[in-house]
Amino acid sequence: MRLIMLGPPGAGKGTQAALVSAAHGVPAISTGDIFRANIKNETPLGLQVKEITASGGYVPDEITNAIVRDRLAQEDAAHGFLLDGYPRTTGQVAALDEMLAEAGHALDAVVELTVDTDEVVGRLLARAVEQGRADDTEEVIRERMRLYAEETAPLAAVYRERGLLHRVDGMGSVEEVTGRIEQVLGRVRDAASATDA
């Protein structure tokens, strides 16, 4: 399965991506995690993106697209993947389309996790305390939410037009949300096998 997990900062994408990835045997690929690992290890990439991510901005498309291209070329992603936090801009959508076309692959579904904003800010502030993430101050959280609304939320419409978008209520317990996602993926799978038959 080739999936995208879409949703605002704090919607629980990372948590759900890990669970879905384990259940379906496909790697969860998080651009945010890749950037954080590089920042931690002080690699050239990490030094390049450290300030941008700390201020809540988006890393330039050329950098992000190149990283995803490399990651998707790795063997474990050959038969499927779950993208968490990518694409985030229309430029990234176009780049991903190109990567998939080159490989002769297609997306199976885009799962959009929906949450209410107040709840999300609360979750992010709690996570800031737990994980000490540099980009989880209230000001930076607000900037990330603004950028999401402006740049990333519109991607849902792009995928809806392609018939790929599935909106899932992201409120409730982790298990409840996972259950909803699995229902969606079950339907996607049934629809795909009906077409194949």
Instruction: Please report whether residue 64 would count as binding ligand ADP according to CB under 6 A.
Output: yes
- Considering only CA atoms, which of 149, 156, 145, 178 is closest in space to residue 9? 145
- Considering only CA atoms, which of 67, 77, 75 is closest in space to residue 28? 77
CB of 134 to ligand ADP, least distance (A): 10
H runs (alpha helix) in 61-116? 61-72, 90-103
Q: Considering the complex, state which of residue 84 and residue 180 has its C-beta at the smaller distance from ligand ADP.
A: 84
Give the separation between CA 177 and CA 114, rounded to whole angstroms.
Answer: 10
> Of the residues 123, 133, 167, 189, which is catalytic?
133
86 is in an annotated binding site: yes
Active-site residue 88, yes or no? yes
> Of the residues 69, 127, 167, 189, which is catalytic?
127
Among 32, 77, 95, 159, binds ligand ADP (CB under 6 A): 32
Phi-psi sector, 56: left (phi>0), alpha (psi -120 to 50), beta: left
Among 1, 4, 9, 19, binds ligand ADP (CB under 6 A): 9
Among 144, 166, 177, 178, binds ligand ADP (CB under 6 A): 144
11 is in an annotated binding site: yes
Active-site residue 40, yes or no? no
Active-site residue 133, yes or no? yes
Query: What element of type H or E holds 6?
Result: strand 2-6
Residues identified as active-site: 13, 88, 127, 133, 144
